[in-house]
Amino acid sequence: MRTKNAGIGAAAMLCTLAVLTSCSGAGGSAAGAPAALPQGAAAVLGSGTLYLDAGSSAFSTNLWRIDLPSGRASQLTHNAAQDGISNFSASPAGLVMGDAASTVDALDRLWHGKAIAIGDGTGSAPVINNAGQIAFELDPPGSRAGVYRILLRDSITAPPRTIFRESQFGSLGISGWSPDGSELLITESPDSGSYTKYVAITTGGRVVWQFTKNGQGYVNWAATGLSLGNGTFNPGPNQILSISGKVEYTISGGWEPFCWNPAGTEVIAFRKPNELGLWRLSAPARIKDLGALPLGGLLECQWLSRPAAGT
């Protein structure tokens, strides 16, 4: 889960979602609608459903659904500038998102073009697995000094329960679910951001494995390993890791890995300011450049085998 500081700039508000706007074609668009992918990119990516959180800046992003390999695209949110989607998570069970409200994120799910609060909307950085379980962060109030927590809802309507507490570090985050949805990958780091602990926990809060890396990077978990992206906010090495944290491959050329395909054999990569690429396990020494992303910058993506319910 890639996060940004919510509520910076214009006064933030809950997103207002309009009727879905569609465009079609392999990286093309209907008349008057923006293209979502570079020309021909959808055919190269193959099959599945791709979700992008993209826009002109980190605070002005919206969600898009792109069906592969046709390239048919739908804009799912229509947020005003400076009130973009902070982060999102999608699975066949649904799509959940963190949406800026004043100075914190509100917890919402997207359901047929509407943003619906999860509980009272309190929390941030939600992630959803195939079973519909939703984990999210809850920061201490006020000055942020105190205990950071990760909570879990077993369904949209189930009450939340705390599964992890953190009081040692100044930052606690969620990267996402394991491929089978049984474990969560969380991150802990000091205020200095000098290093990050990557920790896998069960839904009961038991630590399964952990490792530490210098700096602050975003990890995406696939069946074949982990991708570590360091280019968004803290430039550093971009890598493919084993579960133990061992570096298997280094991705060069300024390309940052973003999201795996459902099979765990390919990773969508991004290079500033707007280049989209594809890293393949079968050809790890190079990135296939797919062209300029028409939507601008990429904040986050997710690649599913089938669409998320309600999108």
Per-residue pLDDT at 1: 57
| 93 pLDDT higher than 70 | yes
pLDDT tens digits, 8-65: 222 222 222 222 333 333 344 444 456 899 999 999 999 999 999 999 877 788 999 9
| 270 pLDDT higher than 90 | yes
- 113-119: which pairs have CB atoms within 8 A and are 24 or more residues apart? 113/17, 113/18, 113/19, 113/20, 113/76, 114/17, 115/14, 115/15, 115/16, 115/17, 115/77, 118/153, 118/156, 119/153, 119/160
Tokens 């490792």 belong to residue: 211
Computed over every residue of the chain, the mean pLDDT equals 84
Per-residue pLDDT at 98: 87
Tokens 């953190």 belong to residue: 166
Provide the CATH topology of domain 21-304: Neuraminidase (2.120.10)
More confident residue, 78 or 63: 63
How far out from the chain centre does Cα 75 lie?
A: 17
| 280 pLDDT higher than 70 | yes
CB 45 within 8 Å of CB 300: no
Residues forming a β-bridge with 259 = 268
Per-residue pLDDT at 281: 96
How far out from the chain centre does Cα 187 lie?
A: 14
Return the beta strands (E) in 94-232 as ranges. 94-101, 104-111, 114-122, 124-128, 134-138, 148-153, 161-166, 171-177, 183-189, 195-202, 207-214, 218-222, 225-229
More confident residue, 100 or 204: 204
Check whether the bond before 273 is cis (ω within 30° of 0). Answer: yes
Q: HSE, CB side, 13 Å, CA atoms: give it for residue 131.
A: 16
pTM of the model: 0.87
Mean local confidence (pLDDT), 162-172? 85
Question: Edge to edge, what strands does the sheet with 266-271 contain?
Answer: 256-260, 266-271, 275-280, 283-292
Count of C-beta atoms within a 10 Å radius of residue 112: 11
Local confidence band at 142 (pLDDT 50, 70, 90 cut-offs): low
Rounded to whole angstroms, the Cα distance separating 74 from 311 reads 9
Cα dist from 249 to 79, 178, 238, whole Å? 37, 20, 9
The enclosing H or E element of 246 equals none
Q: Which stretch of 106-120, 255-269, 297-311 has the lowest confidence by average pLDDT?
A: 106-120
Read off φ and ψ for residue 310, nearest 5 degrees: 85, 5
Cα dist from 175 to 252, 266, 293, whole Å? 22, 18, 24
Cα dist from 82 to 8, 38, 191, 267, 274, whole Å? 7, 25, 25, 29, 19
| 103 pLDDT higher than 50 | no
Per-residue pLDDT at 122: 87
CB 293 within 8 Å of CB 272: no
Per-residue pLDDT at 109: 95
Radius of gyration of the chain from Cα atoms?
18
Local confidence band at 144 (pLDDT 50, 70, 90 cut-offs): low
Rounded to whole angstroms, the Cα distance separating 249 from 242 reads 10
| 139 pLDDT higher than 70 | yes
Local confidence band at 134 (pLDDT 50, 70, 90 cut-offs): very high
